[in-house]
Structure 1
Amino acid sequence: MVNLEWNHFDPIPPLDGRAKGAAEKFYRDLQHAYPEFVADFENKFTAWQARWFDPESPGAVSALQRCELPEYDPLLFLGPKITPLVVHELSKPGNFIATTLYNHLETDPQTQVHPDDILNYLTLTRHANLIVELNYERFQRAQAHLNAWKARCHANRQQQQQQQSPTQPQNQTPQSQTLAPPPIPLSSPSAQSTTVAHSGILSGLGLNSLELDPDTSCAEYEALVRMGPGIVAQVMLEYNRDRTGPWGKLVHQLICERPLEEGQEKEQEGFLDSVKGQEGRSVGEDPVRREKRLLRRYEKWRDWFECQEHHEVVGGSTPSYLKNVASWS
């Protein structure tokens, strides 16, 4: 737990070495997996940084006023996917001006220094250090949730394969198969809205409204959604390692702020995850076609992550983080 206690008569506490090391490792992992993404950020950040103390910009005397420089908006419009790169910059001495960029991107109060905490908020070096440490804690929480969701999705795949097997007796469970546990009941408003959305989608496809996507109708998924778009880069690292995994569903919800319309997307691509065979048995999508479809989905998200601004994929709506900017101005 990050310690927010600090007496202003004491020296500013140093940045936690573990948090600094984690920020550096996160940066290197992103640079290895998505070099164009990191290079684009660094070009834009360097252009903005070069104007911080520009004598030709005498009006930019505070961190907030430096957000009015023309070089700022290209960074802001990249969106929360750049959060860990901003955190990495904040881990470097003297980059405390970037606290304003971080606050404009971040929507999770648990990883922000609140303005009411006047001493920590206005002492920008302390503010920057706390952001790095709070993100270290978030990274650990998010990784635990990602691992739990990945395990559930894996179990869901095993269960689906058993149900789709034409030779497996219906009342027999192979010892080598691990069935997914029943989804944990969700009671949060966001979970209920997700359920309603999925029901409408499936109904429109002529499927049973109770046939919800087991990957997203579970507490493990909902915990990740609640963490907000600040974890998108961490999810994209998992996506790079497991390109046919379920990560596109989560990225879509975090960025577009609505569930992925799974059945409709596949129908447009000429695929359905399953069709009804004889005796109502579900026959799975051809594995080769499924892999190609999922790889295409990864390529789509990789292209957005590396080369596009946040709003280019949200369908015209205003992202929550941009609505959040006014509260920090």
Structure 2
Amino acid sequence: MVNLEWNHFDPIPPLDGTAKGAAEKFYRDLQHAYPEFVADFENKFTAWQARWFDPESPGAVSALQRCELPEYDPLLFLGPKITPLVVHELSKPGNFIATTLYNHLETDPQTQVHPDDILNYLTLTRHANLIVELNYERFQRAQTHLNAWKARCHANRQQQQQQQQTPTQPQGQTPQTQTLAPPPIPLSSPSAQSTTVAHSGILEGLGLDSLVDPDTSCAEYEALVRMGPGIVAQVMLEYNRDRTGPWGKLVHQLICERPLEEGQEKEQGGFLDSVEGQEGRDGSIGGEDPVRKEKRLLRRYEKWRDWFECQEHHEAVGGSTPSYLKNVASWS
């Protein structure tokens, strides 16, 4: 647990070494998986950083005023996907100006230093150190939830395969009892309750609502959604390792702020049009040729990879204003 207590008569506490090392490793992992993403961020950040103490910008005397420089908006519009890269910059001495960029991107109050905490908030070196340490805690929480959700989805696949492959028992023979994964815990959020997924009757045979996607109608998924878009880079690392896995559903929810409705993926905004085509449902609940399904899921990954590496946040959301941009005014 990050210790926010600090007496202003004492020296500024040093950055926790474990948190700093974790920020560096996260950065290297992203650089390995998505080199264009990291290179684009670094180019934009360096251009903004070069203006921090530019004598030709005498009006930019505070961290907030430096966000009014023209080099700032290209960073801001990349969105929360760059959060771990900003955290990595904050782990370096002298980059405390970027605390405002971080606060403009972040929507989770658990990983922010609140302005009412005047001492920690206004002492920018301390502010930056706390952001790095709070993000290390979030990374650990998110990884726990990601592992739990991955296990849940794997159990769902096994359960569905068992249901599909159970042979018809000869007359008079007692069927063997199968051990199935427990049904997912229903979501409580209104947005999740509105999700409708056109699956086959297999779910009904399992005692589940045929309009419910078991991958997203569970407590494990809900816990990740509550963490907000600040974890999307961490999810994209999982997606890179498991490109036909369920991660696209979570990325869509975090970025577009609405569920991905399998079988109805030709969105009005057109972001997934070229991915899903006319091929129908997700296929994870049966009915779709496995080879076709794998190719479609790989195309879905490539679409999200292209967005992650080369596009701004708004290019995936179909014209709506992302929550993080609505949040900027409260930090201005």
Q: TM-score range by the shorter chain?
A: 0.7 to 0.9
CA shift, 1:285, in A, is 1.7
**Cα distance per residue 1:269-302 (max 9 Å; x no partner):** 9999999999999x53211111101100000000
- 1:273–1:285: 8 Å Cα contact kept in structure 2? no
| Counterpart position of 1:321 | 324
Distance between the aligned counterparts of 2:8 and 2:265, measured in 1? 55
Contact 1:263–1:272, Cα closer than 8 Å, also in 2: no
RMSD (CA atoms):
5.4
Who is 2:151 aligned against? 151
> Is the contact between residue 266 and residue 276 of structure 2 (CA under 8 Å) also seen in structure 1?
no
Aligned 1:188-207 pairs, distance under 5 A: 188-194=189-195
1:261 Cα deviation from its structure 2 partner:
1.6
The alpha-carbon distance between structure 1 residues 280 and 215, as it changes in their structure 2 partners (threshold 3 A), is closer
Q: Equivalents in 1 of 2:23, 2:279: separation in Å?
A: 54
Structure 2 residue aligned with 1:15: 15
The CA distance in 1 between the partners of 2:302 and 2:287, in whole Å, is 23
**Which digits, 9 at most, give the CA deviation of each residue in 1:295-325, with x for residues without a partner?**
0000000000000000001000000000000
Offset at residue 196 of structure 1 (A): 10
- For residues 188-223 of structure 1, the C-alpha deviation after alignment (integer angstroms, 9 at most, x for no partner) is 44443446999999999999764x111001110010
Work out the percentage of aligned pairs sharing the same amino acid. Answer: 96
Q: 8 Å contact 1:202–1:263 — kept in the other structure?
A: no
Query: Structure 1 residues 106 and 168, CA, compared in 2 at 3 Å: closer, same or farther?
Result: farther
Quote how far apart the aligned CAs of 1:170 are.
Answer: 13
Bigger helix fraction: 1
Q: Which moved more, 1:259-268 or 1:58-67?
A: 259-268
In structure 1, the residue corresponding to 2:249 is in which secondary structure?
Answer: helix
Q: Deviations over 1:34-83 (max 9, x none)?
A: 00000000000000000000000000000000000000000000000000
Pick closer, same or farther for the CA change 1:168–1:44 going to 2, 3 Å: farther
Contact 2:156 2:215 (C-alpha < 8 Å) held by counterparts: yes
Change (3 A) 1:306 1:272: closer
* The 10-residue stretch of structure 1 (65-74 or 265-274) with the greater mean CA deviation from structure 2: 265-274
C-alpha contact (below 8 Å) 2:22/2:136 kept by paired residues: yes
Deviates more, 1:261-270 or 1:200-209: 200-209
Deviation at 1:118, TM superposition (A): 0.3
Residues 163 and 202, structure 2, Cα contact 8 Å, conserved in 1: no
Q: State whether residues 162 and 168 of structure 1, in contact with CA within 8 Å, keep that contact through their aligned partners in structure 2.
A: no
Query: Judging changes above 3 Å, is the alpha-carbon distance between structure 1 residues 208 and 66 closer, same or farther for their aligned structure 2 residues?
Result: same
Shift of 1:84: 0.1
Whether the 8 Å CA contact 2:239–2:245 is kept in 1: the answer is: yes
**Residues 116, 170 of structure 1: alpha-carbon distance in 2 compared, 3 angstrom cutoff:** farther
Total equivalences in the alignment:
327
TM-score by length of 2: 0.87
Would the alpha carbon gap of residues 180 and 173 (structure 1) be closer, same or farther in structure 2, given more than 3 Å must change?
Answer: farther
TM superposition shift of 1:179: 2.8
TM-score by length of 1: 0.87
CA distance in 2, matches of 1:32, 1:95: 23
Q: For 1:279 and 1:301, how far apart are their aligned partners in 2?
A: 18
Give the Å deviation of 1:225.
0.4
Tell me: CA distance 1:61–1:172, structure 2 relative to 1, closer, same or farther (3 Å).
Answer: farther
Following superposition, the deviation at residue 183 of structure 1 comes to 1.1
Cα separation, 1, equivalents of 2:256 and 2:205: 21
Q: Deviations over 1:150-194 (max 9, x none)?
A: 000001114345335566899999999863211123334444344
Identify the range of structure 1 (173-182 vs 183-192) with the bigger mean alpha-carbon deviation: 173-182
Do the aligned partners of residues 246 and 58 (structure 1) sit closer, same or farther apart at CA in structure 2, a change above 3 Å counting? same
CA distance in 2, matches of 1:165, 1:39: 50
The 8 Å contact of residues 15 and 133 in structure 1, kept in 2 or not, is answered as yes
